[in-house]
């Protein structure tokens, strides 16, 4: 599912008017194309697997884990049925194995209510998610953007965001939190859309 096109048009209009650097980036990258992942559990599993490894490595491990689950849709129930050695064979580290088990336990015992979490504010969603081992603020922000489609999330700690702010805004070093938020201030209330364009700038070939 995609974000409401009317909201996307409003976001692009705002960003073009508010920030000439963003206006040029939007022109160069092209249309905003973010497809939301509605399976909230899968989003969190992917986020845990992806921590501190390359995108390609994360994809390979994720595919092996989901293949081990079988033809069923990945869920807390069928992931918990996998033995530790099966998950380790798929490439899950001992630490991430602990994180995945804790995620499943929180879902199964009702402490983490993914079906209703979308009713909460951004801060409320973050506060609930960070109770799970291995889910910090960055992971919760990725959930807000890529699963819930929240439009005004600015993950200032993200290395790709900081790197591309440095490259695009003529800063000599990686920006700190204060500098990042100062540059991002004109993007509000569409910081998620601006962040998406910063990520795409990092992905684009020269």
pTM for the model stands at 0.85
* pLDDT at residue 206 greater than cutoff 50: no
- For helices 159-169 and 191-203, the axis angle rounded to 10 degrees is 80
Question: pLDDT tens digits for 19-73?
Answer: 999 999 999 999 999 989 889 999 999 989 988 887 788 889 999 999 999 888 8
Distance CA 202, CA 204 (A): 6
Provide the residue ranges of all domains of the chain, joining segments of one domain with +: 5-35+152-203, 40-146
Distance CA 104, CA 41 (A): 9
Mean pLDDT computed over 1-7: 88
**How many Cβ atoms from other residues are within 10 Å of residue 176's Cβ?**
11
* pLDDT at residue 4 greater than cutoff 80: yes
At 204, the pLDDT band (50, 70, 90 cuts) reads: low
Distance CA 41, CA 39 (A): 6
Fold match between domain 5-35+152-203 and domain 40-146? no
Question: pLDDT tens digits for 120-142?
Answer: 999 999 999 999 999 999 999 99
**How many Cβ atoms from other residues are within 10 Å of residue 32's Cβ?**
19
Place of tokens 């921590």: 51
35: phi then psi, degrees, rounded to nearest 5: -95, 125
Give the pLDDT score at 25.
97
The correct answer on CATH 1.10.3720.10 for the domain covering 5-35+152-203 is no
Sign of CA dihedral 61, 117, 132, 52: positive
Distance CA 159, CA 84 (A): 31
**How many Cβ atoms from other residues are within 10 Å of residue 195's Cβ?**
24
Q: Is 2 helix (H, G, I), strand (E, B) or coil?
A: strand
Give the pLDDT score at 159.
86
2: phi then psi, degrees, rounded to nearest 5: -105, 165
139: phi then psi, degrees, rounded to nearest 5: -60, -40
Give the pLDDT score at 52.
81
97: phi then psi, degrees, rounded to nearest 5: -60, -45
Distance CA 153, CA 143 (A): 10
- What CATH superfamily classification does 40-146 receive? Hypothetical protein; domain 2 (1.10.340.30)
């Amino acid at each position: 599912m995609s974000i409401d096109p009317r909201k996307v048009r409003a976001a692009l209009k705002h960003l073009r008017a508010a920030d000439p650097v963003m206006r040029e980036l939007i022109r160069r990258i092209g249309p905003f194309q973010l497809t939301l992942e509605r399976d909230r559990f899968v989003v969190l599993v992917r986020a845990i697997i992806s921590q501190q490894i390359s995108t390609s490595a994360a994809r390979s491990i994720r595919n092996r884990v989901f293949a081990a689950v079988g033809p069923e849709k990945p869920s807390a129930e069928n992931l918990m049925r996998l033995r530790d050695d099966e998950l380790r064979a798929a490439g899950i580290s001992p630490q991430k194995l602990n994180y995945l088990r804790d995620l499943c336990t929180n879902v199964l015992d009702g402490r983490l209510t993914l079906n209703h979490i979308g009713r909460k504010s951004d801060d409320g969603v973050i506060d609930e998610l960070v109770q799970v081992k291995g889910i910090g603020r960055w992971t919760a922000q990725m959930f807000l953007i890529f699963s819930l489609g929240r439009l005004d999330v600015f993950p200032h700690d993200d290395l790709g965001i900081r790197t591309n702010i440095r490259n695009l805004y003529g800063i000599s070093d990686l920006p700190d939190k204060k500098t990042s938020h100062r540059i991002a201030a004109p993007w509000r209330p569409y910081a998620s859309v601006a962040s998406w364009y910063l990520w795409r700038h990092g992905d684009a070939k020269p």
